[in-house]
């Protein structure tokens, strides 16, 4: 049984042939859609957050261009990248890591650039970090993007005093040596940063701590995470579990008072092979078996989120604490010939289908999941944007975030349905996933993903209680799930107008092509 979100009743009937898509008969499938909950559940815009770590070419040669590079820049901030991210309304950006955060000392990245010390990035390629991109540069990037900064404090190798000093530097309006230093560095007014992660992956690269030890460390740090007059209150975020580690979540929820945390994180990646040892699987040139395995591993997010949410419900039945899946995405082998520590990978239609599916899962759990961060924004892992000197391209995953931005801060519309199966070599996964919401203007948006690479699904939909006259849509698909954009052919996979939905009497009929992401708007 697969749960999704919408507001009506839906029927999946026999496959409908469309030009360019193969089709085989489908068994009719009914979908019952329920009205919005009371009180309404809002799909937080922060589910659509992103991540920028000092890793490979994400910051340097991504956001932060060489001064000699012939691209539009503000200082060294690359404006073509900024404009692309502005278009999809990035709600928050997480920085400086990741593993890098627990080796980062913020004072190294403020003040005159020429005076900033150089260091070694021990986590990602042992490259020299020149600290030319630091706190002020990051917050200027956030200002240009119109996004909220999400900072990760150094718990692994830092001190309570260091974290508290960073918060005072950024948020206090009092006359202190740190605030005077901030003014000397070009920003007299407080920044008012509210989203603060207290450590990152404290079970691993953030210190290899036990859950019991980390919760004591967290409470110590959180005690000194001070709210400054004139700045909004901090939203303190606990470094949460790795995948399905229920013990970590249980220990955090049991040992940390609810009033000491705003959110709890979860990291869950999709590996094509499902294994962290050996090959994770290729990013291009894969066959259907590898495609199937990747989507099967992606769909595990549903069970993982459900399990952690149930533990949180036991200690927090009013759902005051947000679950933040602040690292997720496809993780493959790096591109051949690239630095293995830079995690540079291509991005195919398969990755877009993973993105659409995962975002549908988050939307459907919006009562608890109130934030997420795709790893990562530029040139790393399942990136939105790839750059090569002056060139820039938008990946298929970028286009999914463009299509799905209509769900940000909209009201969730729930539904129940049993998905048809996508079957390969005797194994099966649900072919269809979906979510839906109603925005503040009253428009209903339905996001649909068909994972089956061959079958077209025909949806016949009744919409009781929804007054609508027109339906429009956009689709992301391509001839193969392995198709991707290159600098020579940057538009191989891009959205187009969707003509497969129409009003038929009082019903909505949708022909959902194979290997596609479709977002409909009903008005």
Q: What percent of the chain has pLDDT over 90?
A: 88
Structural domains in the chain plus CATH codes: 7-26+455-523 (2.60.40.1180), 46-406 (3.20.20.80)
Tell me if residue 290 is catalytic: no
The whole-angstrom separation of Cα 11 and Cα 510 is 10
What six digits make up the tokens of 339? 């630095």
Mean pLDDT across the stretch 365-392?
Answer: 98
| DSSP letter assigned to residue 18 | B
- 16 pLDDT band (50/70/90 cuts)? very low
Task: Note the pLDDT of residue 461.
Answer: 78
The whole-angstrom separation of Cα 275 and Cα 505 is 50
Task: Note the pLDDT of residue 4.
Answer: 38
Query: Which three-class secondary structure state does DSSP give residue 196?
Result: strand
- Full DSSP string of 248-290: HHHHHHHHS-GGG-SEEEEEEEE-SSS-SSS----SSS--HHH
Dump pLDDT digits (tens) for 54-90.
999 999 999 999 999 999 999 999 999 999 999 999 9
Task: Note the pLDDT of residue 110.
Answer: 98
Rounded to the nearest integer, the mean pLDDT of the chain is 93
How many Cβ atoms from other residues are within 10 Å of residue 20's Cβ?
Answer: 9
Task: With beta carbons less than 8 A apart as the criterion, state whether 493 and 504 touch.
Answer: no
Give the residue among 125, 156, 153, 2 at the shortest CA–CA distance from 54: 125
- Comparison of pLDDT for 503 and 344, the residue scoring more: 344
Dump pLDDT digits (tens) for 170-197.
999 999 999 999 999 999 999 999 999 9
∠ CA 516-2-321 to the nearest 5 degrees? 100
Task: Note the pLDDT of residue 329.
Answer: 98
Query: Which three-class secondary structure state does DSSP give residue 391?
Result: strand
Tell me if residue 390 is catalytic: no
Q: Give the orientation angle of helix 211-223 with respect to helix 246-255, to 10 degrees.
A: 40
What six digits make up the tokens of 385? 């944007």
Task: Choose, from 201, 212, 250, 335, the residue flagged as catalytic.
Answer: 201
Please list the residues that pair with 387 across neighbouring strands: 392
Task: With beta carbons less than 8 A apart as the criterion, state whether 354 and 296 touch.
Answer: no
Task: With beta carbons less than 8 A apart as the criterion, state whether 356 and 301 touch.
Answer: no
Task: Note the pLDDT of residue 47.
Answer: 98
What six digits make up the tokens of 311? 């533990």
Task: Choose, from 129, 137, 290, 327, the residue flagged as catalytic.
Answer: 327
- 9 pLDDT band (50/70/90 cuts)? very low
Mean pLDDT across the stretch 474-494?
Answer: 98
Decide: residue 469, CB within 10 A, 0-12 exposed, 13-18 middle, 19+ buried. exposed
Query: Which three-class secondary structure state does DSSP give residue 117?
Result: coil
Task: Note the pLDDT of residue 2.
Answer: 35
| DSSP letter assigned to residue 54 | S
């Amino acid at each position: 049984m697969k749960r999704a979100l919408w507001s009506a009743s839906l029927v999946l009937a026999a496959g409908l042939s469309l030009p360019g898509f193969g089709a085989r008969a489908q068994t009719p499938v009914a979908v019952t859609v329920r009205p919005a909950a009371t009180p309404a559940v809002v799909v937080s815009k922060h589910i659509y957050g992103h991540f920028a770590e000092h890793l490979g070419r994400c910051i340097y040669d991504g956001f932060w261009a060489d001064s000699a590079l012939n691209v539009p820049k503000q200082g060294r901030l690359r404006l073509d990248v900024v404009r692309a991210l502005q278009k999809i309304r990035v709600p928050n950006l997480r920085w400086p890591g990741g593993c890098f955060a627990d080796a980062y000392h913020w004072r190294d990245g403020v003040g005159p650039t020429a005076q900033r010390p150089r260091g070694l990035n021990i986590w990602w390629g042992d490259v020299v970090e020149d600290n030319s991109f630091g706190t002020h540069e990051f917050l200027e990037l956030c200002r240009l993007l119109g996004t909220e900064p999400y900072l990760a404090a150094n718990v692994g190798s830092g001190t309570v005093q260091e974290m508290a000093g960073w918060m005072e530097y950024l948020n206090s309006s009092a006359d202190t040596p740190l605030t005077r230093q901030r003014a000397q560095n070009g920003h007299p007014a407080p920044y008012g940063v509210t989203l603060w992660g207290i450590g990152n992956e404290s079970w691993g690269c953030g210190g290899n701590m036990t859950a019991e030890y980390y919760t004591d460390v967290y409470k110590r740090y959180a005690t000194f995470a001070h709210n400054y007059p004139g700045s909004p209150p901090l939203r303190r975020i606990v470094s949460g579990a790795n995948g399905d580690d229920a013990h970590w979540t249980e220990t955090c929820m049991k040992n940390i008072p609810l009033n000491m945390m705003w959110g709890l994180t979860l990291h869950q990646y999709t590996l094509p092979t499902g294994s962290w040892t050996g090959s994770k699987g290729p990013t291009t040139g894969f066959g259907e078996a590898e495609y199937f395995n990747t989507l099967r591993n992606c769909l595990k997010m549903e069970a993982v989120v459900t399990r952690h949410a149930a533990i949180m419900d036991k200690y927090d039945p009013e759902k005051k604490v947000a679950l933040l899946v602040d690292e997720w995405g496809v993780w493959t082998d790096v591109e051949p010939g690239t630095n293995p520590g830079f995690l540079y990978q291509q991005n195919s239609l398969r990755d877009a289908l993973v993105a659409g599916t995962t975002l549908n899962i988050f939307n459907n759990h919006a009562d608890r999941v109130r934030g997420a961060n795709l790893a990562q924004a530029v040139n790393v892992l399942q990136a939105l944007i790839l750059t090569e000197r002056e060139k820039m391209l938008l990946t298929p995953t970028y286009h999914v975030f463009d299509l799905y931005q209509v769900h940000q801060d909209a009201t969730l519309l729930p539904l129940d349905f049993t998905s048809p199966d996508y079957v390969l070599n005797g194994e099966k996964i649900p072919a269809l996933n979906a979510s839906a919401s109603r925005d503040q203007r009253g428009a209903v948006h339905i996001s649909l993903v068909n994972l089956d690479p061959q079958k077209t699904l025909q949806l016949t939909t009744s919409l009781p209680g929804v007054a609508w006259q027109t339906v429009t849509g956009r689709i992301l698909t391509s001839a193969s799930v392995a198709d991707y954009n290159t600098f020579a052919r940057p538009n191989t996979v891009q959205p187009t107008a969707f003509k497969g939905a129409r009003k038929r009497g009082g019903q909505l009929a949708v022909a959902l092509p194979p290997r596609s992401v479709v977002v409909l708007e009903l008005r």
